[in-house]
Amino acid sequence: MTTPAQTSRLAAWPTPIWTPRAVVVDCDGVLVDTEAEWVGVQDSYLASHGAALDAATRRELTGRSAETVIRTIAEVLDADPQRVAEDLIALHRADLGRGVRLLPGVEEAVRAIAARVPVAVASNSPRDLLDQKLAAMPFGDVFDASVAIEDAPAPKPAPDMYLVGARLLGADPADVLAFEDSETGAQAAAGAGLALIAVPSLAGQHPVADVTLASLEDADLRAWIETWEITR
């Protein structure tokens, strides 16, 4: 766990004075282990064409929109981006059809949060894929709103998705807490002015955040959530 700076809204963690009036969470890599699955799809697809991404490019693409990933892979393969898109999305959709794996502590944490404040999910996924993931979660119905890539002017790392999420929840961004796993997502949340807890799930990702936790099972996080004012 990292210790936040004294200027952070989460200063004095694990007992900060500030508490959020709403929460916006990332999906892939925070709620479900689909970030690792999506990276695996990319690697397998590239390998089937005798190619691979270097470590720097892999790190840069983590958390980026499917469009950005597809464009990069198409350039590496010197292939038609439309064909690459069709292939990768079909492989990803097939994996989702086999179900999603919740990350540790997610269901309990999200239900505890949703019992106290409005909560939204913001993802660089297309709407149909995000809805498929939410439908596969046993707690997908607790979210008050969801933001897919079509719902914001620009995808993460731009701040738009978090700004839209805060607006849908009727909250000022300064009163909202975000949960992210990637450097891309952390940049988006910070740019929108949200407080941020990072829960990195992929090796090589070091998102800058107010607090970094190993998982949402963290006991201090659970205890802090119980102190929040009920605003719903």
Domain boundary residue, one of 97, 120, 136 = 97
Residue 132 maps to a domain: yes
Is there a single domain that holds both residue 76 and residue 162?
Answer: no
Is there a single domain that holds both residue 48 and residue 110?
Answer: no
Amino acid 6: pLDDT = 59
**Percent of all residues in the chain with a pLDDT value above 70, rounded to a whole number:** 98
Is there a single domain that holds both residue 113 and residue 71?
Answer: no
Amino acid 94: pLDDT = 82
Least confident of 59-73, 104-118, 128-142, 152-166: 59-73
Amino acid 3: pLDDT = 64
Question: How does residue 173 score in pLDDT terms, banded at 50, 70 and 90?
Answer: very high
The per-residue b/e assignment along 178-204, b for 16 or more CB within 10 angstroms, e otherwise, is bbbbbbbbbbbbbbbbbbbbbbbbbee
Query: Using one digit for the tens of pLDDT, what is the confidence trace for 8-26?
Result: 999 999 999 999 999 999 9
- Going by C-alpha positions, the residue among 86, 89, 70 that lies closest to residue 128 is 89
Is there a single domain that holds both residue 108 and residue 216?
Answer: yes
Q: The domain that contains 124 carries what CATH number?
A: 3.40.50.1000
Contact in structure between 194 and 173 (CB atoms under 8 Å): yes
The predicted model gives 177-198 an average pLDDT of 96
User: Is pLDDT above 90 for 109?
Assistant: yes
Count of structural domains within the chain: 2
**Percent of all residues in the chain with a pLDDT value above 90, rounded to a whole number:** 65
Residue 218 maps to a domain: yes
On whether the pTM is more than 0.85, the answer is no
Residue 16 maps to a domain: no
Amino acid 41: pLDDT = 83
Residue 230 maps to a domain: no
Residue 164 maps to a domain: yes
From the number of C-beta atoms within 10 Å of its C-beta (0-12, 13-18, 19+), residue 126 rates as middle
User: Is pLDDT above 70 for 186?
Assistant: yes
Residue 2 maps to a domain: no
Domain boundary residue, one of 71, 97, 123 = 97
Is there a single domain that holds both residue 141 and residue 171?
Answer: yes
Residue 47's SS3 state is: helix
Query: Using one digit for the tens of pLDDT, what is the confidence trace for 51-88?
Result: 998 888 887 887 677 788 888 999 999 999 999 888 88
Question: How does residue 137 score in pLDDT terms, banded at 50, 70 and 90?
Answer: very high
Residue 146 maps to a domain: yes
Is there a single domain that holds both residue 71 and residue 138?
Answer: no
Domain boundary residue, one of 78, 97, 116 = 97
Amino acid 232: pLDDT = 86
Is there a single domain that holds both residue 142 and residue 76?
Answer: no
Residue matched to tokens 């004012």: 229
Contact in structure between 168 and 146 (CB atoms under 8 Å): no
Is there a single domain that holds both residue 48 and residue 130?
Answer: no
Is there a single domain that holds both residue 128 and residue 203?
Answer: yes
Is there a single domain that holds both residue 59 and residue 132?
Answer: no
Is there a single domain that holds both residue 218 and residue 109?
Answer: yes
Residue 14 maps to a domain: no
User: Which residues span the domain enclosing 138?
Assistant: 22-33+102-225
Is there a single domain that holds both residue 61 and residue 151?
Answer: no
